[in-house]
Structure 1
Amino acid sequence: MLRTSSPVLIGREWELRTLHTAVAAAPSVIFVEGEAGVGKSRLIAELINAMGDGPPLVAVQHCQPLRDPFPYGVVLECLSQCAGQVGQVRGKLSAVVGALRPYLPELADSLPSALPALGDPAAERHQLFRAVRDLLAALGRVVLVIEDMHWADEGTRQLLRFVMTDPPPGLSLVMTYRREDLVGNAPLGRPFRPPPSAAGAHLTLAPLDANGVRELVEAILGNPVAPGFAEIMWQRTAGIPFVVEEATCALRAMEGRLGTDEVTARRLLDIVEVPVLLREAMVERMHALPDDARAVAQASAVLGVPASDALLSAVAGVKWSRAHVTRLLEQAVLVEVAENEYSFRHALAQRAVYGSLSGPYRQGLHVRAVRELAQLDPPPLVRLALHCRSAGLTADWLRYSEAAAAAAMRAGDAFTAMELLVAAVAEPTARAADLDRLAINLCESALINLHHQEAIAQIEQLSSDPRLSDEVRGEVHLWLGLLLIRKVGAMARGRAEIELAVEALHGRPERRLRGMAVLALPYISTAPFAADLVWMERVEESLEALEPGGLRTELLASVLGARVLVGDPGVWDRLSLLPSVSEPVEAGTLRALARAHCNLADGCAWAGYYGRAREYLHSGLDLAKRAGAPYVVGTAEGTRARLDWHVGDWDGLAERIEQLTQTYAHLLWVTSELNLVKGWLATARGDWGRAETAFKATRMDQPDSAVIPVAVAAIGGMATLLLNRGDTTAACGYADRGAALIRRKGLWAWAGELACPAVEAYVAAGRLDDAHTFVADLAAGLNEVDAPLAQASLLAARAQLAEAAGDMAGAARLCAEAIGCFTDLGTPYRLAQLTETVAARAIDITELTDLARTYEELGATSDAARCRHLIRSAGVSTPSPRGRRGYGNELSPREREVRRLVAHGRTNREIAQAMFLSPRTVEEHVAKVLRKLGVKSRQEVHL
């Protein structure tokens, strides 16, 4: 069942401690102030829950918003809850308590005899007040909780002031209230100061901050939410816990989950239905306002953003707006968001009021909003577009939308431009000429933006819209293809759209070249590189006729990056064709230059030029941020994760990958690289189930829908994983698959991550002919190819073959050459693995000990465990990774690793295999982990 509130109290730890302390210091009086929904009742509930079944005696009642409340009613209701306790203290009750008999008939048998009538209302009231105080004194330790004191009648206020002026020694009075709904300025009618004999406290509950909102949402859902979601939820709900809870549950019911990216979350929060309780509360509050004040609040709901009192007055059509705004501030309907600008407390309240307006009245307010906003300099184009649409002014809406989108693009806000244009092109009454222009603008903004699910759907509809001209339809096919090849599972469909566009765009050579440059990219198709090369050479031939600018730089970004990626040794002399990063260029060229540098970084990282990759990545990210190109930034983040893996910068890498995976969830080119690195990290840490899931998420099993070098590397990763598990047959199956893909593509420069595990699998399975064939093909494929990583891997693979043939001298020589190459590359993990091969063969205990330490420093705990296992197998005892010491109730390094694997759901057998320990030893470690963590089962172990 879905929780509608948090199982734990969020963000109120200090307040709860203060409340506990004040209640314990009886006699005491505590005020808890806060706006509606801020969590006053939840705080009280946590206090009562912590007290248990008593003592003290706890009585809780709520004041009601009645037109004519019963005098003293809420206090008498509290006393009526004490029937059992009153009977126990009957002998201690003074005669004056008998005054309560007419008011508390359910306690009549336990109360003294009724008192005779005095005939004086004031005297009888005094008698009643004394009776209440004496009864509370007789009851001993009592916590009286009265909620919603803003609705209390005057008699109740007077009674409570009387009691607390000389409070019973065991009484703690807790009162909650909303300041905006107080009749006077204080919950007891006038300021109250406890007597010296009583303790006092005044708590004011503020809304949660963004971090508190995140914790609250995660506590309700039972799982983490995506980065950025909490910030958006906080903005939309003002951090009011009740509103956060209601919005979270409404979103969950609508979407089925909340693990969405930031933009999707923003969209959902914009359209989620306003919770019923909140809607009813706002409607009730609006009905209680005078007509003109209500009109100003309704104008604020239509404007939807903070506005001055003058603008609110003009849109509402009323005078004396300051007085009305003051009234709305006092009633907490509006708040001052910025100096002299007013709006609703949170977006859901604004939408609740907006939704209560009738259609004609709402439309009239939008018309007045358009009239007023159009006079501003500069005019707020986005707001004008939205108001024109709601006012039914279609022609003005399209005009403002296009202007607003252009301004947003200039400001680097492609998402806003895309949202405006998606709505505009969907308008069925738009003219053909307007639609052509709007369609191209939409496609260009979507290509720059990260999140384009809605844009893709709209562009697909546009491609068959009869209003489009043939030339624009060809462009739409091109843009659609460019978007689809980025999307998970749509690579082949995107390539088909681009091929269709290239055929249709003979009249638009610049657009056609753009499509040809994409078809030249070798990593988006399993077709032989020879076919890609035809397209690449046609694009390169056209470069000579192009003037410097955005298109030329865009084409260079594609072909130069691809040339580096395939190991073309002549590409380095052509890099000077790119504009200098210091040259002033227009926005389009700047975006293209950013892409060029990031493409070069990507190619260098695949080839093994890690130093160059780092330089291009740094300049590319700087250019992309300057150009406002979030998609380019995303692809660079994928490259950076892979580069950090290679050069050994693993600290915090796994956590960063998790965040990036959620941010770029819909972008195949980014998530596939991130999953590849996630698989490598998990393998190095012995978490093979997690590694397998990550490798398969690269779509390596569907290479036609994958980024090919990523798929090849993931296949190599799976082969390594299976070899670690001892499943040689399955490892050979992946080696076969990777070799077939490389042979089909004809690009052996991409075999750097596949070569060693493939040859190792073949040798282990006795398939020596396949191993020799693979190495021979690799050597031939790398002839005149500039790919340092693949060349180093070729040497290592040849060393494996020499060892399998019994040529130990040749194996040692080749291994030494490979070690030299990997040292030059600057890849500490690959270097350690190769060095381990030599050290294990020679049983070099010193070297193995150093390697275990190197692996530990990297974070490759499984490899470190293997080295220690080799040392133990040689009959040498091994110290703990960080030196032996007593850990007491702390987890030792090995126990921390066991905890991590248990938390990921690994069995004892799997842990033993990953850590090179016996099952019995693992069993002992698991028992210690459970004991030290204070949990009873493996399911309770978390990171």
Structure 2
Amino acid sequence: MLLGREDDQRAIDALIAAARLGSGGALVVTGDAGIGKSALLDDAVARAEGFQVLRVTGTEAERDLPFAGLAELLRPVTDRIEDLPHPQATALATALALRDGDEVDRFAVSAGVLTLVASLAERRPVLGVVDDALLLDRPSAEAIAFTCRRLLADAVLVLVAVRDPDAAPWSSATPHRRTLAPLAPDAAELLAEAAAPAGLDPHQRRLVLELAEGNPLAVRELVRDPGRLIGPVPDAPPLVPQVLAEAFGERLSRLAPQDVAVLLAAAVAAGDLAVVARACAADALDLHALERAEHLGLLTVTSARVAFSHPLVRSAVYAAASTEDRRRTHRIVADVLPAGDADRRAWHRSAAALGPDAAVADEVEAVGRRAARRGAHAVAATAHERAAHLSTSETVRARRFLAAGDAAASAGEDANALVLLDQALRHDPSPHVAARARLVEGTAAARGGHLRDARDVLTAGGAEAADAAPGLALRMYAEAVDACLYLLDVPGAVRAADAIERLLAAGETDDDASAVAVASVAVGMARILAGGGGIAPIRRGVQLLATLPTRDVPPGWDVIGSLFLRESGAARSLVADALEQGRAAGAVGTLPHLLHHVARDDATTDRWQQAAAGYGEAISLAREFGQVTELAASLAGLAWVMARQGRTAECLAAVDQARQLDAADDVRMGEAWIRFAVAELHLGAGEVTTAIEEFAGVTAWLEDLGVADVDLSPVPELVEALCRGGRSDEALPFAVPYLEQAERKGQPWSLARAARVRGLLAPVDDVDGPFAQALELHAGTLDVFEVARTHLVYGERLRRARRSVDARVHLREALETFHRLGAAAWADIATAELNATGLSVRRREAGPVTELTPRELQIALLLADGRTTREAAGALFLSPKTVEYHLRHVYTKLGIGSRRELAAALRESP
């Protein structure tokens, strides 16, 4: 029985009871070595009667074996993997080496784990136990943490024991933590009396309690040999791990050298008894040494495993061995491993290598390639790095460091990626290696929010690679333009675009269709940002991308190009298709970028509900995956939607979160949207003077940056605000250059807004022409909010010209659209204008849909669209029970009880 842990036991009992009732979750148990974390987990397993128990203990020996921990955790239920949706089943089975397959997305593996565990919980509650979590291989840890974050309404409880609660990924796996404190003196004394082989005299008891400092393992170890107890040095009490290490070391010294060699084999073989037995036979060692070690309390032997009593015992065994003995043991274990265990054999041979060894390096590199295919990029990075160190050729060493850096970047380990890429360049500074290194470095910097660094690295890399690797140079210049777009760095974007055009004109990249297509889109983006005509190259690029296999299209570029075109049709449909493909494939890591762009697209149509939900999901995933640039941009986009709906609190909350990010200064595009949103908020609320100041400030700021893209300009809103404030005479200096820019761009969306500006400033007798032209141009776009704004100001001008009957037509159109979009503040303005024409129109209250959280709204939209609960769960990487949990809240808030009513409520509500 456990002593002194009654409070901890009660807390876990409450979690077990909640999980049994379908309210799951996770708990991270922290504390020093020997404090009793494992014992508490063992106690929880004993108390969880009727639960399906899945358990794994991390080990140092398997830390670099991809998904080794996950394979052990799921070993009792691997037969259920085939019941998962096909993409998840494929990803998970491939990751666990249950089948061969193409490279899988590491997040798809995580999604598969979640779905598997949730499906198990539909039969009986599940208890997941993860001990020594810091020793798990990184891919397994990430997959388990991903699952922990999504446990809400499933009969699943996951208990994780870890020393350092701030270590990734466990620091973000769950907000629930419990730190085990040292035992109280009375409990420690009871434990000492119970654990002592013979009674302790008072002096020995006092020394045990002083030295152990309430650490249960230290108490048990110290009372085994009370004769060797000595008092602590004054003012320098020994650390508990030191006390334990000394205790274990002393017990090891009682064994014969040949017996210690058997323990070393067990430590190297990760406790696999069959492998230990074969290693002992190969080295003429007596396997019965394990019994003698077991008698000393150093380990426990079962039918298949050798389990050391504590990780410190294994550490003591390994540390006590000479370097030569370690290498020799690794070599023997490698030789006796089963034929199919290639990864483990390669790692052992690499540990046995005395220096560079080309053959071993090849084996370890193969481990890295297999790990990458299974989505275990962190392990792949380690393998490629080890292979690089073992390489005998400088060129090969550089190639392997490059692969390691690429894998580290894919794993989200950007700092480590930079170190590895630098190593690659030290060994081979050739242009091709430099180009690949710079591309990885630059894209990683951009993803992490370091856009200035990304721009500089990519631009310099493109220049260096132009002659030797023109295709890679095009990619780098294109990515540099994308970074400049977020930075609103017009000169940087133009320089990169000029360089692209020089390369394209040289005609040396025609065989790289993907690079050419992406570069064409980038050129158009840069030209538009600078106020030029960039539609033609974007259209060429989008058309070329549409002809390429999906695997050849760099993530997001087809989406970006389509959105820049602001057109309906096949090109724009690529946006939604890309998102659906990402969901179907379980490519969770690509979703923040796609969701951000799809939400931006929805926000410029009549799909504002979908835009808010999409931004909410992008924010959640980007925060989870550390994609700072997409997080900042999505928060800004959400603020923009909330402002137009007049939801002040939500808008300002998103603004505050975005501006608190470290990347806020770099993501100027997001800042532009934020400032636009704040100004819109004031204008919709009737705070005209403040709105004028805000819009004028944004306009001046964009001009200072050299941004001449008319679609980013708030001049139409500024002119409207000036007219509302009776200051239309101040509008002309803003309007004239804006109208010129719109004509130069020549797109319907820009031209419609320009025509509205002319209508606002036209003499009262000449308003019909420009407004009619604006509405005709709007008909070629999908942005219904812009149409409504034109109807509103047209109606306002007609009413002031005493043409009330004509005004009502346009004001009613505006009002209906504002109501449909949920633009409450603008609906109020339209209502007031209609009433001023002599009608009596009542204000409509906002519907209850506005009370839904982003997650609830996302689920409601998917289910109302006809998806089943399981389909919605798969799309959002949640469990079906969690979807049902949120759906109950949706029903309660909307006052409905069926999915048919849900679809109707969403249709009727903005």
- Report the secondary structure of 1:36's partner residue: helix
Give, in whole Å, the separation in 2 of the partners of 1:758 and 1:701: 29
CA distance in 2, matches of 1:479, 1:372: 40
Instruction: From 362, 368, 381, give the equivalent of 1:405.
Output: 368
Q: Distance in 1 between matches of 2:572 and 2:566?
A: 11
SS at match of 1:9: helix
Q: Residues 675, 242 of structure 1: CA spacing in aligned structure 2 closer, same or farther, 3 A cutoff?
A: closer
* Structure 1 residues 89-120: Cα deviation after superposition (integer angstroms, max 9, x where no partner): xxxxxxxxxxxxxxxxxxxxxxxxxxxxxxxx
Query: How is 1:136-215 mapped onto 2 (pairs within 5 angstroms)?
Result: 208=126
Q: Quickly say closer, same or farther: Cα 1:783–1:876, change in 2 above 3 A.
A: closer
Whole-angstrom distance in 2 between the partners of 1:555 and 1:335: 61
Maintained 8 Å contact 1:609/1:788? no
The secondary structure found in structure 2 opposite 1:794 is: helix
Q: Which amino acid aligns with 1:542?
A: A
Give runs of aligned pairs for residues 288-687 of structure 1, distance below 5 A: 310-311=274-275, 313-314=277-278, 354-355=314-315, 357-360=317-320, 371-372=332-333, 380=341, 382-384=343-345, 386-388=347-349, 395=356, 398-410=361-373, 414-421=377-384, 432-445=394-407, 449=410, 451-459=412-420, 462=423, 467-469=427-429, 471=431, 474-475=434-435, 478-479=438-439, 482-483=442-443, 485-505=445-465, 508-510=468-470, 511-519=472-480, 523=485, 524=487, 526-528=489-491, 530-543=494-507, 546-548=510-512, 551-552=515-516, 555-556=519-520, 558-559=522-523, 567-571=533-537, 574-575=540-541, 578=544, 581=547, 591-595=551-555, 598-612=556-570, 614-618=572-576, 620=578, 634-651=592-609, 653-665=611-623, 666-687=626-647
Q: Higher relative contact order by CA 8 Å / sep ≥ 6: 1 or 2?
A: 2
Deviation at 1:780, TM superposition (A): 1.6
What is the letter of the counterpart of residue 454 of structure 1?
A
- Distance in 1 separating the partners of 2:558 and 2:158: 50
CA distance in 2 between counterparts of 1:831 and 1:607 reads 18
1:451 counterpart letter in structure 2: G
Shift of 1:486: 0.7
* Shift of residue 679, structure 1, vs aligned partner: 0.8
- TM-superposed CA distance for 1:501, in Å, is 3.2
Q: Please state if 1:827 is matched with 2:783.
A: yes
CA deviation vs aligned residue, 1:507-542 (integer Å, no higher than 9, x gap): 624344444444455625523465444223113213
> What is the CA deviation profile of residues 748-783 of structure 1, one whole-angstrom value per residue up to 9, with x for unaligned ones?
445256233232344456664653233221222233
Residues 841-871 of structure 1 show CA distances to partners (whole Å, capped at 9, x for unaligned) of: 6587898788666545544455456656767
User: Share of identical aligned residues, percent?
Assistant: 15
Separation in structure 2 between the aligned mates of residue 811 and residue 315 of structure 1, nearest angstrom: 93
Cα deviations by residue, 1:623-674 (Å, 9 ceiling, x for unpaired) = 8799998765543232112112223334465454344324334435422431
Match of 1:38 among 30, 38, 44: 44
Q: 2:646·2:824 contact (CA, 8 Å) conserved in 1?
A: yes
Matched, 1:721 2:701: no
| Counterpart among 141, 145, 151 of residue 229 in structure 1 | 145
Equivalence for 2:17: 12
What letter is aligned with 1:718?
Answer: V
Asked if the contact 2:521/2:542 (under 8 Å) is kept, the reply is: no
Does the 8 A contact of 2:562 with 2:575 survive in 1?
Answer: no
Aligned CA-pair RMSD: 6.0
Please say if residues 685 and 861 of structure 1, whose CA atoms lie closer than 8 Å, have aligned partners that are also in contact.
Answer: yes
SS of the equivalent of 2:510 reads coil
Quote the Cα distance in structure 2 between the aligned partners of 1:846 and 1:228.
Answer: 58
Q: 1:603 to 1:517 in 2, by over 3 A?
A: closer
Amino acid aligned to 1:38: A
Q: Name the count of aligned residue pairs.
A: 656
Tell whether the 8 Å contact from 1:822 to 1:831 is kept in structure 2 after alignment: yes
Give 2:366's aligned amino acid.
A
SS of structure 1 residue aligned to 2:44: coil
Residue 227 of structure 2 aligns with which residue? none
Match of 1:251 among 165, 189, 193: 165
Superposition deviation, residue 436 in structure 1 = 1.9
In structure 2, relative to structure 1, the CA distance for the partners of 1:208 and 1:634 (3 Å cut) is same
C-alpha deviations, 1:569-599, integer Å up to 9, x for none? 433773487366476xxxxxx544244xx32
Contact 1:381 1:401 (C-alpha < 8 Å) held by counterparts: no
Structure 2 gaps of 5+ residues are 1-6, 23-39, 50-122, 131-140, 178-212, 225-243, 857-891, 896-910
The letter for the 1-side match of 2:414 is Q
Q: Structure 2: which amino acid aligns with 1:800?
A: L
Cα 1:728–1:343 shift into 2, 3 Å: farther
CA distance in 2, matches of 1:501, 1:698: 30
Distance in 2, matches of 1:896 and 1:411, equals: 38
Aligned CA distance change for structure 1 residues 379 and 605 (closer, same or farther; 3 Å): same
Aligned equivalents of 2:747 and 2:339: distance in 1? 55
Asked if structure 1 preserves the Cα contact closer than 8 Å seen for 2:542 and 2:571, the reply is no
Residues 367 and 391 of structure 1 are in contact (CA less than 8 Å); yes or no, is this contact kept in structure 2? Answer: yes
CA contact (8 A) 1:698 1:706 kept: no
Q: What amino acid maps onto 1:406 in structure 2?
A: R
CA separation of 1:227/1:698 partners in 2, compared to 1, >3 Å: closer, same or farther?
farther
Contact 2:539 2:565 (C-alpha < 8 Å) held by counterparts = no
**Residues 854 and 737 of structure 1: is their aligned pair in 2 closer, same or farther, counting only changes over 3 Å?**
closer
**Shift in Å at residue 822 of structure 1?**
3.5
For the structure 1 residues 514 and 878, does the alpha-carbon distance in structure 2 shift closer, same or farther, using more than 3 Å as the test? Answer: closer
Shift of the 744–353 alpha-carbon distance from structure 1 to 2, 3 Å rule, reads same
Q: 1:871 to 1:395 in 2, by over 3 A?
A: farther
Q: Counterparts of 1:350 and 1:856 in 2: how far apart (Å)?
A: 65
Deviation digits for residues 386-408 of structure 1 (CA, Å, limit 9, x no counterpart)? 44565575646754443322334
The one-letter code sitting in structure 2 at the alignment partner of 1:12 is A
**CA–CA distance in 2 between the matches of 1:383 and 1:206?**
35
User: Structure 1 residues 420 and 643 mapped into 2: Cα distance closer, same or farther (>3 Å)?
Assistant: farther
**Is the Cα contact below 8 Å between 1:681 and 1:860 reproduced in 2?**
no
Secondary structure of the structure 1 residue equivalent to 2:745: coil
- How far, CA to CA, are the matches of 1:850 and 1:293 in structure 2? 89
Q: Could you state the TM-score of these two structures normalised by the residue count of structure 2? A: 0.57
* Residue 87 of structure 2: aligned partner: none
Task: Describe the shift of the 1:626–1:314 C-alpha distance in structure 2 as closer, same or farther (beyond 3 A).
Answer: farther
The answer to whether the 8 Å contact 1:648/1:829 transfers is yes
Q: Distance in 1 between matches of 2:816 and 2:13?
A: 42
In 1, are the aligned partners of 2:280 and 2:287 still within 8 Å (CA)? Answer: no
* Stretch moving more, 378-387 or 701-710: 701-710
Return the alpha-carbon distance in structure 2 between the equivalents of residues 753 and 602 of structure 1: 19
Counterpart of 1:686, as a letter, is G
TM-score (norm: length of structure 1):
0.55
Query: Is 541-550 or 785-794 further displaced after alignment?
Result: 541-550
**Taking structure 1 as reference, are residues 10 and 549 closer, same or farther at Cα in structure 2, changes over 3 Å only?**
same
Instruction: Report the Cα distance in structure 2 between the residues aligned to 1:641 and 1:622, rounded to whole angstroms.
Output: 13
